Amino acid sequence: MNVARIRARMGTALQAIPGEGCDDLLRARDAYETSAKVLRVAGVPEEIAEIDLNLGLVLQSLAGAGRAKITDAIAAYQRALPVFDKTAFPQEYAIVQNNLAAAFL
């Protein structure tokens, strides 16, 4: 499980690398998807929702480059919403809602 958490953090680092092209975003997507498989079974809801939020951001960027479907980004954001509700996590809730609005546009 710790390996999955480290892989998720690697995805965050890859996502933050500036530059042209999609290689780092594709690697970030793979890191998030791999870690999510493990953490959906043994992780806590907040860390899974964080992965879904970050995965949504990566997929949304990849969709803009024609390398992913925007509906996959929307699905990732929607998976995060039950955990990041407006009462317990108001900041994360607002971020997810903003990202969903941008994805739908």
Q: For the chain, list the domains and their CATH numbers.
A: 2-104 (1.25.40.10)
* Percentage, residues of the chain above pLDDT 90: 97
Q: Does the pLDDT value for residue 20 go beyond 90?
A: no
Give 1's pLDDT tier (boundaries 50, 70, 90). Answer: confident
- Rounded mean pLDDT of 79-91? 96
pTM: 0.95
Overall average pLDDT of the 48-67 stretch: 97
Helical pair 70-80 and 90-104, crossing angle rounded to 10 deg: 160
Within 8 A by CB and 6+ apart from 62, the residues are 22, 25, 26, 29, 68
Predicted confidence band at 10 (pLDDT cuts at 50, 70, 90)?
very high
